[in-house]
Amino acid sequence: MRPWVITEAARHVHGLIARGFDVRGYHHWTLVDNFEWDSGWDLRFGLYELDLRTGERRPRASAALYGAIARANALTPGMCSEED
């Protein structure tokens, strides 16, 4: 679901810019999985997975997608399929 959220957010930001809004940036919530007070560690929003036992952080595929969008400053064909 995360790739879909990232690409949809980028599409909407692009639409706002095209309509003349002064968009200065986009921040994905969150870089690393974090503790949510009402759900504990069950929800995993991060671009990087956090191993609770070792503290190791591993990038998810969505981190690569987010980086590719940032480097291209665009959504290019094939970055995310309709099924994502």
Q: Quick check: is 39 in a domain?
A: yes
Q: Quick check: is 12 in a domain?
A: yes
Q: Quick check: is 81 in a domain?
A: no
State both tokens at 6: 């990232």
Q: Quick check: is 18 in a domain?
A: yes
Task: Give 10-42 pLDDT, tens digit per residue.
Answer: 999 999 999 999 999 888 888 888 878 888 788
Q: Which domain holds residue 47?
A: 2-72
Instruction: Confirm if 55 and 39 have CB atoms less than 8 A apart.
Output: no
What total of structural domains would you count in the chain?
1
User: pLDDT at residue 83 above 50?
Assistant: no
SS3 of residue 10 by DSSP: helix
Q: Quick check: is 82 in a domain?
A: no
DSSP 40-76: BT-----SEEE-TTT--EEE-HHHHHHHHHHHHTS--
Output the pTM of the full model.
Answer: 0.78
The number of angstroms, rounded, from the C-alpha of 40 to the middle of its chain's C-alpha atoms is: 20
